[in-house]
Amino acid sequence: MPWAWKRPTAYAAYATCVCTAAYGLMKLAQALGANALADKDPLPPDLRRRLLARDPLFVASHWILFTLAIVGIVIALATIRPWGRRFPRWILLTATWTAGIFMIVRSLGPVGYGFVGDTLVLTGVQPPPPQHAELARHLARWDLMLWSPFFLLWGLLWTATAWRFTRTTRT
């Protein structure tokens, strides 16, 4: 079947690229030394301290995440562009479905941060340690307003891209 990249259903892949690029650029900025929302990253206090102190492990992780964002953009585009036929179909399907499901699960937060975890912290059902209570509530609010919705949108876009690719490349 021809790979029609001008169909309206291909827009999910383009929107996936936009979200991936935004995340990747934020990680690049952090790798180069900018704060770029690093202080809003929902991490336990000890890891948060290391992140803000520019621990070499975190700097390296930012470079790795930036590189993965570039790979993600290529994968999303490969599902709708003719040159994407050079990639094995199973690799593109595995990558797109896995990314989408992972991000949706992260946004829901059955364990830790996400809509469920943040709500449990903010309502007091799962109170954080007293010495970090205010920081935990602050980070939970940021996660509830910014990160969880972003990861949910991004995950839904990845799954829409995967679904479209699955349907358009069936033999």
**Segments forming the whole domain that contains residue 69:** 8-168
Position 59 in a domain:
yes
Do 23 and 64 meet the contact criterion of CB atoms below 8 Å apart? no
Q: pTM here?
A: 0.88
% the chain with pLDDT above 90: 64
Position 27 in a domain:
yes
The pLDDT, as a whole number, for residue 111 is 65
pLDDT tens digits along 79-88: 999 999 999 9
Position 3 in a domain:
no
Three-class secondary structure of residue 24 per DSSP: helix
Banded pLDDT at 45 (limits 50, 70, 90): confident
Q: Does 6 score more than 50 pLDDT?
A: yes
Say which range, 33-42, 68-77, 137-146, has the weakest mean pLDDT: 33-42
- Rounded to an integer, the average pLDDT of 157-167 is 95
The pLDDT, as a whole number, for residue 1 is 43
Position 2 in a domain:
no
What's the total number of domains in the chain? 1
Position 1 in a domain:
no
Query: Residue 9 burial (CB < 10 Å; 0-12/13-18/19+)?
Result: middle
The pLDDT, as a whole number, for residue 136 is 87
Averaged confidence pLDDT in the chain: 90
Position 33 in a domain:
yes
pLDDT tens digits along 47-58: 888 888 999 999
- Rounded to an integer, the average pLDDT of 127-140 is 87
pLDDT tens digits along 89-116: 999 999 999 999 999 999 998 767 899 9
Position 104 in a domain:
yes
Q: What sections of the chain are H helices per DSSP?
A: 11-31, 45-52, 56-78, 89-108, 115-123, 133-142, 148-168
